[in-house]
Each structure stands twice: as C-alpha cells, then as structure tokens.
A and B are shown apart, each in its own frame.
Chain A
Amino acid sequence: MRIMAYEALDFYDVDSLLSEEEQMVRDMVRDWVDEEVIPNIEKACRDGVFPDEWRVALGEMGVLGAPLKGYGCPGLSYTAYGVICRELERGDSGLRSFASVQGSLAMYPIWDFGSEEQKNYYLPKMASGEWIGCFGLTEPDYGSNPGDMITKAEDKGDHYLLNGAKMWITNGTIAELAVVWAKLDGVIRGFIVEKNDPGFSAPEMKGKHSLKASVTSELVFQDCKIPKDRMLPGVKGLRGPFSCLNNARFGISWGALGAAQACFNSSKDYAMSRIQFDHPIASYQLVQNKLAWMLREITKGQLLAYHLALKKDAGTWIPEQISLAKMNNVDIALEIARVARDIHGANGILDEYPIMRHMANLESVKTYEGTHDIHNLIIGRHITGIQAFTRNA
C-alpha cells in the first residue's frame, strides 16, 4: 500500500540537528520526489523534457525562492533551502537546477536589488511557479571570466537596447523572464528581459548528455528593446551576479549530497543482492572498501554543508566558505557516482539504475556555478592573497 520510503545515509545523525520545521519541509519534498519524480525521471531524461507538472508541484509546495522573505516568498531558513536542494537532487540534478535558478538566480536578484515595483510585480508569481525565471550571465566566450562580458545595454532615452548572447542558460526557453547582466557604459548592470520583448529569443540547446531533464538555452539579444523600468537599481558590477551565485552555490553544496546519497543507497542495495561466486559482492573486501569510502565522504560533506548553513543563517559567512563546500561536495559526489557505476557492474549503465544519470549530471554541476578549478583558486587567493586566475597583474 505504501511505497518503500527513501532513507538517506546520515551516519553522524546530522539531520537530527535540523529544526522541526526544516525536518517537515524535508519530509514534504522527499515524499513528493518518491511519488512523482522517481517513477518518471528516467522517461523525462530519455525524452529530454522538464515535466511541467514538476514546476506546478514545486510552486504548490511553496519551495521556490525558499530563503527569501516577503512578497509571497516562503521565508524559510537557508538551512531549509539546503535541505530542499538535497532532496530534489536525490531525484535529479536537473530538477534541482530548475529550483536553484528560479530561487537563487532569478528571484533573489529582484528581491535584493530590484525596486519595490519590480519586487511586487515579479516575485509573487515566481514564488507560486506561475512565472519561470532564468539568469543570463555566461556568454559563449565568457564563462569563468564573466567580467569581460560583451553583451551590452545602451540607454536610448525612453528604453534600453540590448545586444549580445548568453549561453548555458537553465530554464531559458520556458521562462517568462530573464535577469540579464550586461554592460551599460562599461559597468555591469542587471536587466529584466521578458519573453515577448522585441529582439529577444531563447532557443533551446539540444544534444546534451547531461542534465537532460532540464531545459538549457541560449539567450539572444538582437536590438532587444526593453522599457526603462527594467533595470535593477540596487547593484552595479560583478557584485550583483556573484551575490546570486553565492546563494546558488550554497544550495548546490547540499544538493550534490542528495545525488551522492542516491548513488550510495543504490550501490549498497545492489551489492547486497548481486551474487557472484556464490556470495553477495557486498561480502568482498574491495566492494566494502568502496562503500566505506562513500560513507566517509558523504558524512564529511554533510557536516561541511550543515555548518555552512548555520553560518549562512547567522550571517557570518564569507564567499570562500561557500566555494569550499560547493567544490568539495560536488567533487566527491561525482567520484561517488563513478565508483557506484563500478559496483553496479554492467547493470550500472542501464537507466534501470540512476547511477549514470547522476554521473553525467554531476559533470555539469562540477562545471557550472564556478568550475571546480576556479573555486580552488578562490581558496588559493584567500590563503595567499595572490590571485592566480589570470596572467594579468
């Protein structure tokens, strides 16, 4: 009568430290993922679609823009936001990407840097899931180096004119609005572009081997005309997009654990059932070594993410701390997925098991929101005071 409820690895009982509210939010999302996502994700992945029912359900549950307060937003803790990301990504990284982009990259900049009119106009409908948002920072030739972007906005008196292109934009093709970062007189500003604005198009990028259940798009601005009231007044320069990325990265540090836990659970179940040479492979030392290593890394990652969440909620965090958690947890999650595939043997390549889907997804997660190497250098600069990103001084 009931489906087998998912139990996540929690070796050091970190979840017992969550508040009652955070645990109830966790259970709400976990049950929904069990009932609606797990049975349908492989087909969504094969078909390359993000099911619209999931957008509706996320809106109804009230988890979009989780840590934002006011304007119809949930007003939960950052810890709760992390928990939501973890539970979603246990299902699929593409699903969690939808929520990250909507909440941290599209709703957040309007919430923090928008005018009152913009907040009242956009945020309630985004919180309910009625309007989808996306975030336009990365360009075809400007990824790790967003500061030198060439998308530009010109002040034409009664409107702005945007020209340029953005790439790798989650939700772009299905979004009602995009928060686009472009240079106005050489200074990076945020602009809200709506899907029907003249000169704007958002073609889908096809042929992905990763995040297949997520929509990835280009944003193309060809003399794109937007009204004057669409600029975000509250921020100039890279601080704008980087603030958004910090929030998203925080969510990802929790999310990656969800994928890792899913791979661990599947590996453990498989190893206990798969008989070879008359014994379950879980009885062989090399397999136990792999499972124990997975448990070790997941446990460390959980403690990292949880402590970071406390600091985020207390306001005592610095961006480098977020870089560390994002980088570490995604890195170990990808390794865990690879080792999980090994434990599953040939069966691991079938979509009967979630392993290679997680593995392929995590390649993107390791790259977006700051590549692994970039976060490494962020920490290196923090330690030494010397930036090693570029050859320039």
Chain B
Amino acid sequence: MNFTILAETNGDNLHPTTYQLIGAATSIGSKSIVICPNGIATAEAANIEGVEKVISVIGDCFDIFDGGAWAEALNSVCEGNILVSATPNGREIGARIAAKRSIPIIQDIVSISEGITVTRPAYSGKAIETLTISGDAVITLRPNAFEAANSGNDAPINIVNQSADIKISIQEAINQASERLDVTEADIIISGGRGMGSIENFSQLEKIADIVGAAVGASRAVVDEWGMPHRMQVGQTGKTVTPSLYIAVGISGAIQHLAGMRSSKYILAINKDPDAPIFGVADYGIVSTWEDAMPALESALLELQS
C-alpha cells in the first residue's frame, strides 16, 4: 500500500515533519510517494528510507502561498490516502485537496496504526478521538508526534510540470519584530518569580521564550516589587492561564500564584529550594538555580529544534 506524502520545506531543505510523515507511513507497512512542491529538496526526499518515488512538481504558482493554487497543482499527482503535516499551510492545502476529491480530512492526528486507525486530540486536549478510516482520506499529522524516517535510500525522481491560477496577490510585506505572545494566548509560558534575583535576569527567560514561541509571565512579587508590567502577572490578581506547558522558574508556588496556573496541562518547575510548594503541583521538577538551569534549557531546546 502506498501513501501520498506532501512534502513541506524549510528554505531549500525538507522540514523535519516530512521525515515524520514518511516514518508514520512506514510504521504501518506502507511505502511513500513524496510530492515536492516547486521541485525543492527532491534529492533529499529521494534519500529517505521508505520512499518509493519522488514527484517533483514544477510550476509558477508556487512562488507565493495561495492554498487553492497549490492544492490544484499538487492534486493532479495525488492518489489514495494523502498524508500532510498539520502545519498551517499543510492543514489548508490538505483541506482543499480533500474537498476537491470529495474525501474526508482528519486533522492533527497523533498516532496511526493498521486498519487504518488514528487518534487525535479534541476539545483542546480534554478528549482523545479514535477513528477508523475505510477508504481514501486526507490525514494531517501533528508535528513531532511521530518517529522520523532515516536516510539511506535512492528513490527515483519524476518531474511534472503543473501550475494553477493564483487568486491572491501580496501587496506588501510588513517586517516587524514579531511581538511576543500575551500569557493568555500562548500555548507555552515561562514565568519568573523572586528567585530570578532581578528584573534584568528575565532576559534569560525571554531567550527561552523566543526559542519555543512562548509567552513570558511573572509572579505578583516581581510585578509589585520590580515593576514588571501587570499584564504579565499570573495568579489570583493577575491572569488565569491554561497553557499546554507552564515553566515556573524561581517561583515558590504560593497559593495565589497557583490559582492562576494550576490548570496548565503540564507544569515544569525549576527552583533551588527542594521544598518549594511549586514542586507539589509540578509534573517535572528540577532542583537547581536558574543560573545553572537556563543555559542547559536553552541548549537542550535548540538541539531539539535542529
């Protein structure tokens, strides 16, 4: 059985999620036919284990991102079950191809097994859905939820010329330093408390935040005593937040702070005091000073990204 894989790229290379799509197909005994939009990274794709062949689609429409045009061009070489990364672009192209082919789409799966049976989170992660697919479908896979395939292959590459009409135009690029997310919007929050020592040391937390796209929060003490902006305050008199991951650094975990972050999906606490109450609610606790932990966290996260 073959899966059609829509490759996602990052500059001139494949995005790591493409390896995960192929790994997922392989895990249920399927071969992958990888479609590379705009002919990017075809040699890299041909090099991945589990790839039966690579189809390089060349067209003008890939110069800018118009989901409808990309879907039309790529659809011409799609068949059967189609795997796409559940990235913003992937979700959009996947949905259009599914509608075009009149087949269902299942977004953001986190596991796949023969059958085909898939699972996906629903209700903001409060439930897990198990679905069985008995015919053609488009399936998008959550990034980093699947094992990546290895390299060491030499699959054939076919080139197809296929473009489509673009219906949108880019008027102007507004380059701006992307604003850091507000604590109420972010899926990951890193917060600092009195244990950070001074407001200047928050730059360490900001570095981590920038790596994972997190928001930076603060305990009340830091806001009241060091003048951190009130909108960053998490707690009884600040914001109540429900991120997937809350990283509390140098925060003891007084009841007023817990009131604001207790409902986080996962809590990582870093504090030099092994008896700090925060460890009572943390899923992962590291007893360490922030000076030791932050550089280690930075390098571990950067390594994960590469």
Contact = CB atoms under 8 A, between A and B. Distances in A.
Interface of A: 1-4, 42, 269-270, 273-275, 347, 351-353
A273 B237 contact: no
B236 A353 contact: yes
B256 A347 contact: yes
Contact of B262 (A3, A273, A351, A353): A273
Given A4-B242, A274-B255, A352-B236, 6 more contacts: A3-B184, A3-B240, A273-B258, A273-B259, A352-B237, A352-B256
25 contacts: A1-B184, A1-B185, A2-B184, A3-B184, A3-B239, A3-B240, A4-B240, A4-B242, A42-B237, A269-B259, A270-B255, A273-B255, A273-B258, A273-B259, A273-B262, A274-B255, A275-B277, A275-B280, A347-B255, A347-B256, A351-B237, A352-B236, A352-B237, A352-B256, A353-B236
A296 B240 CA distance: 29
Specify which of A1, A2, A351 lies most central, judged by the most chain B CB atoms within 10 Å of its CB.
A1
Contacts of A42: 237
Highest count of chain A CB atoms <10 Å: which of B185, B240, B258, B259 = B259
Chain A binding surface SS class = loop
Contacts of A4: 240, 242
Nearest to B239: A3
Interface string B228-268: 00000000110110100000000000011011001000000
A352 B254 CA distance: 13
Nearest to B187: A1
A352 to B, nearest CB: 5
Most buried by A among B239, B255, B262, B280: B255
Contacts of A3: 184, 239-240
Interface residues of B, number: 14
A351 B236 CA distance: 10
B244 to A, nearest CB: 13
A352 B237 CA distance: 6
Contacts of B185: 1
Contacts of B277: 275
A273 B255 CA distance: 7
Contacts of A351: 237
A72 to B, nearest CB: 37
B292 to A, nearest CB: 29
A273 B185 CA distance: 25
The 7 closest A-B pairs by CB, nearest first: A4-B240, A352-B236, A1-B185, A352-B237, A352-B256, A273-B255, A274-B255
A101 B299 CA distance: 62
Q: Which of A3, A269, A273, A351: most chain B Cβ within 10 A? A: A273
Nearest to B182: A1
Contacts of B240: 3-4
Nearest to A350: B256
Contacts of B256: 347, 352
A1 B262 CA distance: 16
B301 to A, nearest CB: 24
A105 to B, nearest CB: 33
A184 B240 CA distance: 57
A353 B259 CA distance: 11
Nearest to B256: A352
Contacts of B262: 273
Contacts of A2: 184
A347 B258 CA distance: 14
Interface string B264-292: 00000000000001001000000000000
A274 B259 CA distance: 10
A55 B239 CA distance: 25
Of A42, A274, A275, the most chain B CB neighbours within 10 A belong to A275
A25 to B, nearest CB: 25
Interface string B106-139: 0000000000000000000000000000000000
Nearest to A1: B185
A116 B236 CA distance: 50
Nearest to B281: A273
Nearest to A351: B237
A353 B184 CA distance: 21
A332 to B, nearest CB: 25
A80 B277 CA distance: 45
A353 B280 CA distance: 23
B217 to A, nearest CB: 15
A269 B255 CA distance: 11
A269 B236 CA distance: 11
B28 to A, nearest CB: 35
A353 B237 CA distance: 8
Give the residue among B184, B236, B258 with the most A Cβ atoms within 10 A.
B236
A353 B277 CA distance: 20
A4 B240 CA distance: 7
Nearest to A353: B236
Contacts of A275: 277, 280
Nearest to A344: B255
Contacts of B258: 273
Nearest to B184: A1
B278 to A, nearest CB: 12
A42 B262 CA distance: 23
A273 B277 CA distance: 12
Contacts of A273: 255, 258-259, 262
A351 B237 CA distance: 9
A115 B131 CA distance: 70
A270 B262 CA distance: 12
- Name which of B256, B258, B262 has the most chain A CB atoms within 10 A of its CB: B256
